[in-house]
């Protein structure tokens, strides 16, 4: 047997697994999106054209426009703060100091915890009666009645976004810290001689140098946050009054609570389409980046 054939056989288990458990299911997912498929009525599965999509777009209980808006706010606001705070942390950690290793362990650990479990912890922290935040605010006399962080539709989305920011800071800090450490010290020396202050050095030296890392982490993370229902599912499950529902969480609701698999698959199809468009944009931006155009 040739060495190349042996090497190919080593790759085969992965290919087989991915075909059976990823590629074939994607195909089925698309098929189900165009079917009337309800767990309560399994004897009556049939092709129903665009009915699932029409039902989703016209639903009164789950206003689709609101869900899309929530998703956009969820992604953009989380991303902006995750990035800025993560970048700030990376800058603080760039120069070595005593205990930096232990310190970074203590601030980076959120990367490793379950989004669902930590979402539940934060739901308890945000609890309208016995939560930590209300407790502190009352102790200092700032308020005298508990705020319903997760039960007030006006602030529930902001509350879950705070938790998502908390969850995402370490990723950016870790990636950007590594990038910062790759900036050659000579560049700073040269800028110093030219009389550039700290801020000018950041804008004119650091950021241009690590631009590829900035772009790739932001692009990757956008996709990732879009696909991340765990925190919302744990804290509000889209409520109150649909105010924190995003596309990803909406799909879970259709599956877990309504057993309407056809509509769930249709939402999945919408998410997949967004991802596909996004991937094309991502790749074109990335190839420009490689060529140094951006």
Partner 1 sequence: MKKLKIFIESVLKFMALGGYLIFALIPLYWVLVTSFKGPKELYTFPITFFPKSLDFENYRFLFTFANFGIYFRNSLLVSLGSSLGALIVSVLSGYGLSRLSSKKLSNGILLAMYLTQMIPGFLLMLPLFLMLSKFGMINNLFVLGIIYIDMVIAFGTIMSKGFFDRIPVSLEEAALIDGCGTLEVLYRIVLPISLPAIMAIFSFFFVNIWNELFLAVMFLSSNDKMTVPAALNSFISKAGISWGVMSAGLVVALLPTIIVFAFAQKYIIAGLTEGAVKE
**Window 169 to 228, contacts with partner 1 (CB under 8 A):** 169, 171, 174-175, 178-179, 182, 210, 212-213, 216-217, 223, 227-228
Choosing from 114, 257, 284, 287, the residue that interacts with partner 1 (CB under 8 A) is: 114
Choosing from 70, 115, 157, 232, the residue that interacts with partner 1 (CB under 8 A) is: 115
Least separation in angstroms between residue 52's CB and partner 1 is 13
* 3-state SS assignment for residue 243: coil
* 3-state SS assignment for residue 67: helix
**How many of the chain's residues bind partner 1 (CB under 8 A)?**
89
Residue 108 contacts partner 1 per CB under 8 A: yes
Q: How far apart are the first and last CA of the chain?
A: 48
**CB atoms closer than 10 angstroms to residue 203:** 11
Dist. CA 176–CA 285, nearest whole Å = 19
The number of angstroms, rounded, from the C-alpha of 75 to the middle of its chain's C-alpha atoms is: 7
- In the DSSP assignment, the letter for residue 63 is -
Choosing from 73, 77, 138, 155, the residue that interacts with partner 1 (CB under 8 A) is: 138
Tokens representing residue 233 in the block: 């599912």
Choosing from 155, 218, 255, 285, the residue that interacts with partner 1 (CB under 8 A) is: 255
Residue 248 contacts partner 1 per CB under 8 A: yes
The Cα-based distances of 146 to 157, 163, 181 in angstroms read 18, 19, 45
Positions in 259-288 near partner 1 (CB under 8 A): 261, 264-265, 268, 271-272, 275, 279
Least separation in angstroms between residue 252's CB and partner 1 is 6
Rounded to the nearest 5°, which phi and psi values hold at 25? Answer: -60, -35
Rounded to the nearest 5°, which phi and psi values hold at 152? Answer: -95, 115
Site string for partner 1, 44-83 (x = CB under 8 A): ----------------------------------------
Choosing from 205, 230, 245, 246, the residue that interacts with partner 1 (CB under 8 A) is: 230
């Amino acid at each position: 047997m040739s060495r190349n054939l042996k090497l190919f056989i080593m790759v085969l288990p992965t290919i087989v697994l991915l075909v059976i458990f990823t590629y074939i299911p994607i195909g089925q997912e698309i098929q189900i999106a165009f079917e009337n498929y309800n767990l309560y009525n399994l004897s009556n599965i049939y092709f129903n054209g665009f009915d699932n999509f029409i039902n989703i777009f016209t639903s009164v209980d789950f206003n689709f426009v609101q869900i899309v808006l929530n998703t956009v706010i969820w992604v953009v606001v989380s991303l902006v703060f995750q990035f800025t705070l993560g970048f700030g942390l990376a800058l603080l950690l760039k120069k070595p100091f005593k205990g930096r290793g232990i310190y970074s362990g203590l601030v980076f650990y959120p990367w490793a915890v379950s989004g669902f479990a930590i979402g539940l912890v934060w739901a308890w922290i945000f609890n309208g009666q016995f939560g930590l935040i209300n407790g502190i605010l009352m102790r200092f006399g700032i308020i005298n009645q508990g705020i319903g962080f997760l039960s007030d539709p006006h602030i529930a989305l902001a509350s879950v976004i705070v938790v998502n920011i908390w969850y995402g800071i370490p990723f950016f800090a870790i990636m950007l810290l590594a990038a910062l450490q790759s900036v050659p010290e000579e560049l700073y020396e040269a800028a110093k001689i030219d009389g550039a202050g700290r801020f000018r050095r950041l804008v004119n030296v650091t950021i241009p140098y690590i631009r590829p890392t900035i772009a790739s982490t932001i692009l990757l993370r956008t996709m990732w946050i879009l696909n991340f229902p765990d925190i919302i599912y744990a804290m509000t499950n889209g409520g109150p009054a649909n105010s924190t529902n995003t596309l990803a969480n909406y799909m879970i609701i259709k599956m877990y609570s309504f057993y309407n698999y056809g509509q769930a698959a249709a939402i999945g199809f919408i998410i997949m389409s967004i991802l596909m468009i996004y991937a094309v944009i991502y790749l074109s931006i990335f190839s420009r980046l490689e060529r140094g155009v951006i």
